[in-house]
């Protein structure tokens, strides 16, 4: 009976010293991998959204530049016409 307890204790020590750390490390690495994948997904969506918004802003800027630089468009005269209306 005493030798059975010694063997059981030895097995427990082996499990806690060798197997358990390996299992915990494996779980930790899986979690880290999932976090990296989710971060990449989020960042990818964010980048696409920002690129889309930047394209819209550039388009609006081009329209404003055309209005300001167009010689046939007199902004001051247009403002006065709108104020008098």
User: Which tens digits make up the pLDDT trace of 39-54?
Assistant: 877 777 777 888 899 9
Residue 8, pLDDT score: 87
Cα separation, 1 vs 17, in Å, equals 24
8 A C-beta contact, residue 51 and residue 58:
no
> Length of the chain in residues, anyone?
85
Q: Which domain holds residue 11?
A: 2-84
66: nearest Cα among 53, 75, 55: 75
Is residue 66's pLDDT more than 70?
Answer: yes
Would the pTM count as exceeding 0.85? Answer: no
- The whole-number average pLDDT for the span 6-20 is 85
For the chain, the domain total comes to: 1
Residue 45, pLDDT score: 74
């Amino acid at each position: 009976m005493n030798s059975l307890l010694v063997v059981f204790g030895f097995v427990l020590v082996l499990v806690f010293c060798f197997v358990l750390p390996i299992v915990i490390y494996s779980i930790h690495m899986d979690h880290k991998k999932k976090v990296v994948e989710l971060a990449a997904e989020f960042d990818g969506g964010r980048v696409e959204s920002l690129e889309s918004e930047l394209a819209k802003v550039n388009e609006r800027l081009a329209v404003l530049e055309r209005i300001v630089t167009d010689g046939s468009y007199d902004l001051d005269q247009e403002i006065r016409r709108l104020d008098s209306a």
